[in-house]
Structure 1
Amino acid sequence: MGNHRDSTEEVSSVAVTSLEASKEKFPDPGLPPHSPRLTDVDPKQNKKAERHVTLLFVISILGALLFWFAYFGIRVEGNFYDVTNPENNHLLRLQNLFLGLGIALSMFGIGIGIVHWARALMPDHEMVEMRHPVSSEESRAEAQDIMETIIDESGIKRRPLLRNTLIGSIILAPLTFVTLFRDLGPANPSLLKHTLWDQGVRLVRDPSGTPIKAADVTIGSAYHVLPENLQSLTHETGYVEEKAKAVVLLMRINPAELNISEDRKDWNVDGILAFSKVCTHVGCPIALYEQRTHHLLCPCHQSTFDAANECEVIFGPAAHPLPQLPIAVDEEGYLVAQSDFHEPVGPAYWERAKHVNEMAGEAN
């Protein structure tokens, strides 16, 4: 035990000696001499830098306003998806241009403005402070004094125009992204309970609108499908909204490879299945079908659904399977819906279970 203590003390002594030798050999160089900037010695340059920062914050505010003008002010009349309409194409391109330009200017202005403010106007003296091992009342009071000193040195109190434009850009820039949240889904989840699908409504190809015969759907094929009665709607009567809820992906799988529950045995036609294209995560359109594995992939966040197993989630953030549309064949051999979806389509929301139970009760 005594030998162990002696060896430990010897190692400690050697370490201290080595540290002292290192300090003697490599002395602390200290901080380099401070070089004042033009804004530190020339009041005109200081005022000019302040105007530049203010201008950048104003650009950020104008960018946010441009975004909202494009979002709320540019309206596309008629069918959103009529690519043959040159006026629609022009307005859509113009709106997308202004939306992107508005967000870019808003974020660019506030970002570059803060960087320029820090580099040109805020104090740039280097300093070294020892870190205290334990926080105390004195330490907290000292930290508060430091924060007040930083605020004073930043000049935000004595530069009201710069301060006000900064506050305006900080408030408006994030709101451009918040505005986009309103497009993630309806404010009233009950709107997703029902779509245009109903008993006897034919399945038609998107975008041609031609009905689909069961005999034309081969194993491994996939179709983007809409309800036939959607064609009677216009942009003013809710075409876009109804299409967003009713879009369906149709595919045919070898019946021997399907795992179907007893209550869904008659929801397919010899392996022809129809599932909602609206991802149950945040509502992105699912359009990628892997024929060999029968997987459906959402391109936004990689949620993956197994079409051979009632579209259960096998990967990704989605919490619920894709709703299945019950289908049948009419007298002429065309595919038709047996009913509407038996559960709400779209993203999973906190009242989903309640709405599923309500729809089950309505179906009964």
Structure 2
Amino acid sequence: MSSETGPHENVSDENLPSAQEPGHGAVARKDDPFADPGLPPHEPRIQDIDEKAARRSERAVAFMFTLSMLATVAFIASYVAFPIDKIIFVWPLGHVSALNLALGLTLGIALFCIGAGAVHWARTLMSDEEMIDERHTVAAEPAVREQVLADFKQGAKESAMGRRKLIRNTMFGAVALVPLSGVVLLRDMGPLPEDKLRHTAWAKGKLLVNENTNEPLRPEDIAVGSLTFARPEGLEHHDEDFQQEIAKAALMLVRIEPKDIKDKRELDWSHDGIVAYSKVCTHVGCPVSLYEQQTHHVLCPCHQSTFDLSDGARVLFGPAGHPLPQLNISVNKDGYLEAQGDFAEPVGPAFWERG
């Protein structure tokens, strides 16, 4: 057998493939400039060797958390103290809302102090040693899980959460108070309704004013089978809150032969067959306006809820859940129709339970 090596007889070490080339092992050469240098030696911080320095850091962190709590209290106090229309001049911002400025500053300080306190705590008092852990499969071995739990417990111990109670308590206080800022801001969703949904502009002695003529109504102004719209005396179109008030106080009147009225209370609250009901549908608040004089039915054009005005305005058809509220009316000494009070129930879709 020939000893010739052919074209490969002059192969040398310089021609061997590098460990960095694809398809070869990951063993790095001694002169590899990208070799992992490893972690540098750990240098202890002053807080690690000097308890006085650690105490100073603890007080600094607690101060930031306490400042956050005070800023949250100031946020709530500013919301109450500053009127929404108060404008002040602040250089270089110019003229700004005092309320918005106070809320922004106090909430910013509250959030910043929580973050700054947490960062200072981590950098000065928590463990800062870097640890190397080889990658492993998602389904860790029992020994690995035990090691992770042990590392977690060790980290919790080194964080000094249990030992440094001043930091722990002030942090809990700051984190617990900050959400109150958001709760307070819910107040801006609108004014508190209180009992406003239960009352309208109608009251005892208020005249019924014709919406078309702007004149007080007399019984003779309303013919049998007719439909008339009215508003309470004193509510004028040029009033600033007219739309808000008429949305609840809009009234419709029809005249029915007394013998055709089936509901006793309806008959007692009417005058000579003239009955007055809220014009606001109890489904979603659309204006009820389509009247059928032969059947005494009134129809809401939005979703076809149908009410029987000869039987307490009870619902005959459609999605409305309640009868239309009735207004108790009578005639005063001057011969004008007037209200005997407000509606007995809230108008429109204000409540599902109206007891």
TM-score scaled by structure 2? 0.46
Bigger-Rg structure (1/2): 2
Instruction: Give the helix-richer structure, 1 or 2.
Output: 1
